[in-house]
Chain A
């Protein structure tokens, strides 16, 4: 029997969800909902979905979906997700999962009570190179628990279509979030650190505004963020969000006691950084050749994945949604451990609390 999906929130990201769902077997989108009826209508018209609603309660009552994808601005996530869970629907919640960590914990608890699956739209954790990275970590390639993790997340200001409306209006929903621009953009980068950190994490955050954003009329919006993290077991982490570093760096480096890994999301590649020692001047000659070999191998893998239809621009989202549906069907574990979802939210809360506190 096909899984019946509903989408609540018919803005920009909803298209991506619809396209990903269409590529998956055993599911169909049966209803769309947006409090602006024209938005639901335009999406329904383009994708041939007739059941369009302006009221989420009415949609849940009428369409009776099995799962709901919530793609509204984050301020609506908690209440709509709670409503959906109360109605007996599994929930895929776009990032950021909720505005605050207590809200995230509340939803996870409710999903548990209702025996329903809930997941966060951390789709970049499911790209092909990240899956390969996770496979190697599971095989103990690192040689033990991660010693240090680094996550770099870029944002390009050269296309003003996203940032201009935010800078132009103090009432824009992004400006209403505690972490403003960061709040809407850093979840992916933090979530991939949470995977390697314990539950108690110390956070030290610094944020400022770049001259470029200032020239665009940035007012009080900040666009450069650096965070240092450390858990009880001594695993440290560094997170950087930048609009200024060029080329934009989007990677995760996981350093282990034996070997390390570098997953580059920009190029969809994974480098194995193996702990080998070379005699004398060979230390200068051989490692670059080993790196060349790895880069060739990565290029070959990407070409092969492309030709076999595995490599898509949104392969991470398709993979995550597929796993979400699978966990619903099998009543298995959620695709992202709840611990990681809540930890991501807690780290974000702490970052925003620190950067929003005036310096003494």
Chain B
């Protein structure tokens, strides 16, 4: 546990999405700190083998409580939030449909917040968001993207349901912070990678047309290894004096898109074609224009906003994360890549 924490060691912690890619690592991190009063919310259809194994491995895991529930059910939220001091909200909606993404991100979060404020002992709500909420459309190429940068104001035009869900989720959390004094922290992880997530991020390229098109070129990737990201999440749950703050989560050591792709291909080769950014932008503009002109005959999957967000390229900083949360990169890049690439062997 922490020497300097906003909750007592006996305070109960709820982790939503605890069975997910980041969630399992957050649970492991908490158990390693002897946090035994964990309540782990999992979806009804979840397979829990991995989570149960983690709980069995750590002595603190024997007291952890697994709660099966759906965040769209207010009753399930009440059960999950009852008596809880800290909520680490990792559950995410990956629906490609805007309404679905809204339901599973924003609506689910609203239900959870109501339950937390109603039947919990609110110490902190850690909302795990994403870099997808940023817009760099009006930024120079390779400009610094930090917590002060503008948020996406037209997610529909960007055709990004996930980003829309996350934006609306953040909006609700801030609204509850302002109007109902919810103590909260927002984390925005960049490109989270690690074993258990074999697909390459869209920031590296796309596989839409049956082969891999590399679009990231020499852009720096906002990468964070899953264990390093989990460390940031756990620090955000306990650190005093950061209520209402937002933190970007990226590692100290980062690679370019080209380096990352080369490493990935060294583990298991596959064919890829590089498309330089000006060409990708031209293609996106043409696609978007045709989509608009034809009334959506081609859905606007390629467009100016997405092109800028994923392939224009930025520089990144974790200064605030280091200064305010005392975060340090625990897993070095070399070890992280070794674990990541091992899944392809």
Contacts and interface: CB of A to CB of B under 8 A. Distances in A.
B70 A169 contact: yes
Contacts of B44: 167-169
Contact of A312 (B96, B103, B297): B297
A164 B19 CA distance: 15
A160 to B, nearest CB: 8
A216 interface: yes
B148 interface: no
B97 A15 contact: yes
A279 interface: no
A161 interface: yes
Interface in B67-126: 70, 73, 94-100, 102-103, 106-107, 110
B295 A14 contact: no
A40 B93 CA distance: 19
Contacts of B294: 309
B96 A161 contact: yes
A266 B100 CA distance: 24
B320 interface: no
Interface string B289-325: 0000011110100000000000000000000000000
B296 A11 contact: no
A38 B73 contact: no
Given A165-B70, A309-B294, A10 B45 contact: no
A309 B297 contact: yes
A164 B99 contact: no
B68 to A, nearest CB: 9
Given A38-B107, A169-B70, A14 B297 contact: no
A198 to B, nearest CB: 39
Contacts of B96: 161
Nearest to A34: B99
Interface in A102-158: none
B207 interface: no
Contact of A38 (B98, B106, B296): B106
A12 B297 CA distance: 19
Given A19-B296, A171-B73, A309-B297, A161 B102 contact: no
B295 A46 contact: no
A300 interface: no
B102 A39 contact: yes
A210 B331 CA distance: 44
A11 B99 contact: yes
A12 B296 contact: no
A326 to B, nearest CB: 19
Interface in A53-97: none
Indicate the size class of the contact surface on chain B: 20 to 34
Nearest to A166: B45
A39 B295 contact: no
A164 B47 CA distance: 12
Interface string B143-185: 0000000000000100000001000100000000000000000
Given A14-B99, A168-B44, A169-B44, A161 B94 contact: yes
B45 A43 contact: no
A75 B180 CA distance: 35
Nearest to B294: A309
Nearest to B95: A161
Interface in A207-265: 216-217
Contacts of A309: 294-295, 297
27 contacts: A11-B99, A12-B97, A12-B100, A15-B98, A19-B295, A22-B295, A23-B295, A38-B102, A38-B106, A39-B99, A39-B103, A39-B107, A42-B99, A42-B102, A42-B168, A43-B99, A160-B45, A164-B45, A168-B44, A168-B45, A169-B44, A169-B73, A306-B297, A309-B295, A309-B297, A312-B296, A313-B297
Interface of B: 43-46, 70, 73, 94-100, 102-103, 106-107, 110, 156, 164, 168, 294-297, 299
10 A-B pairs with the lowest CB-CB distances in the bound complex, closest first: A168-B44, A168-B45, A23-B295, A42-B102, A12-B97, A46-B156, A164-B45, A12-B99, A11-B99, A167-B45
Given A10-B99, A161-B96, A312-B295, 20 more contacts: A11-B99, A11-B100, A12-B99, A15-B97, A23-B296, A36-B107, A39-B102, A42-B99, A42-B102, A42-B106, A42-B168, A46-B164, A161-B94, A164-B43, A164-B45, A165-B70, A167-B45, A169-B70, A216-B45, A217-B45
Interface of A: 10-12, 14-15, 19, 22-23, 36, 38-39, 42-43, 46, 160-161, 164-165, 167-169, 171, 216-217, 306, 309, 311-313
